[in-house]
Amino acid sequence: MSGSDQEDRWPTRERRTGTDRRKHPERRSGGTAPAAPESERRHGQRRSGPERRDDRAWQPVLIDTGVLDTFAPEDGLLAAARAAREFAQAPYSKFKVGAALETVEGAIVSGCNIENATYGLTLCAERVALVKALSDGHTVFTRIAVVADTQAPTPPCGACRQLLWEYCGDVEILLGNLQALTGRYRLSSLLPLPFDRRLL
């Protein structure tokens, strides 16, 4: 088979970028590809977000160390997170976590951690609650509570912080155990330098 026949049958890909050079002949000659229209660029396809949250809330908020004294014990968000924790599927770690996400309308969507034998497929409680809420059509959130059976506060992991920032903005984070509130923060305190749409 000749080289030209082989090129007609199989797309030739650049080793680093994976670009099909048959579709981009300027790549062969060292030319410069024309810039894609603004509408075709990646950031043009992303949700802008102003309808979901106020950008003024993106200013970093320091941790308030006195809020534990003013927290209302009858707050239902922690109770919802504790109830969700009972459904956690954690046969490997035995570490059960519950989360409850509050929408701007006052609805509460809960979630628990779901583990898998392929550990990388494990889902955190915060992500389960967030995906459930988004799939039900909720887009504006005010608070999330996270509960685990620990004495120290159990904050969201890094991946959960990133997703919460993307879809919830600078929400309030309530941390608790089976008896009491153990911490109360703004998400900006836990994720002080996020990667978000402003960098795209």
Give SS3 for 89. strand
Amino acid (one-letter) located at 196: D
* Measured distance CA(156)–CA(99) in Å, rounded: 10
**125, 84 Cβ separation under 8 angstroms:** yes
Catalytic residue among 86, 126, 166, 172: 126
H helix or E strand, kind and range, residue 170: none
* Phi, psi torsion values for 39, nearest 5 degrees: -70, -20
What separation, in Å, do the N-terminal and C-terminal C-alpha atoms of the chain show? 45
Is 14 an annotated catalytic residue? no
Q: Residues with catalytic annotation?
A: 126
